[in-house]
Every structure is written in structure tokens, then in C-alpha cells.
Amino acid sequence: NAGVTQTPKFRVLKTGQSMTLLCAQDMNHEYMYWYRQDPGMGLRLIHYSVGEGTTAKGEVPDGYNVSRLKKQNFLLGLESAAPSQTSVYFCASSKGSGTSTDTQYFGPGTRLTVL
């Protein structure tokens, strides 16, 4: 099992450009998440999904869109990148057990720089 994979690993964008980050998991997990990690800020939830075709906003959703067309994939889109979106982005997935004891498993991250 590859677990949670993220594509690409690194990306540099110019302000105003768009891009999509891809997250894939092969654990048949129901729930998937996108976080960003900034220095001194910890992990902040951007959007999440509790099943195929569903998405919900997290703590910092502005400037991002997501889609979960297939159970195994969760896409994070930036329509018009801004320097404030320079960050490391992590995807995670969990079984979706319906209880609070649902451990999340993380991908290796995507380092995005917006100039």
C-alpha cells in the first residue's frame, strides 16, 4: 500500500496563476482532508470530505476549492494564487468510523511558493 500520496511535491506559481493539487489514497478511507502548515501556525484545516461527492469548509477555506469525484481522490484547487498561499500543504485520510476515534494518515506534503 502506498498510503496517501500527493502530487506534485514542489511547485512555484506566479500571483494570479491557478493550479490543482492531487491527493490519492489506497486505503479505502471515507474521509479526506486538506491542511496547510505555516511556521508557528501548526496545521490548519482548509477543506474536508466525509465521502465521495461531499465537501465541507474547514478553518481557512478562502481562496481554495475542492472536489471529491472519486472516493480515492481529493483535489485542492487554487483559482488565483496569492503570496499568502505560500505554504506546505498536507492531505490526510481516515476510515470515517463515525466515532471520534478516527486516526488520520497524512501524505508527504506539497511545498507551494507563490511569487
* Near other proteins in 23-82, by CB under 8 A: 33, 35, 40-45, 48, 50, 58
HSE, side-chain direction, 13 A CA sphere, residue 59: 10
d(CA 45, CA 74): 14
- Tally Cβ neighbours within 10 Å of residue 98: 9
Q: Which of 29, 64, 90, 114 binds other proteins (CB under 8 A)?
A: 90
Q: Which of 1, 2, 69, 98 binds other proteins (CB under 8 A)?
A: 98
Supply 58's cell numbers. Answer: 474547514
Q: Which of 61, 63, 77, 96 binds other proteins (CB under 8 A)?
A: 96
Q: Does 105 bind other proteins (CB under 8 A)?
A: yes
Which DSSP letter does residue 71 get?
Answer: T
Q: Does 4 bind other proteins (CB under 8 A)?
A: yes
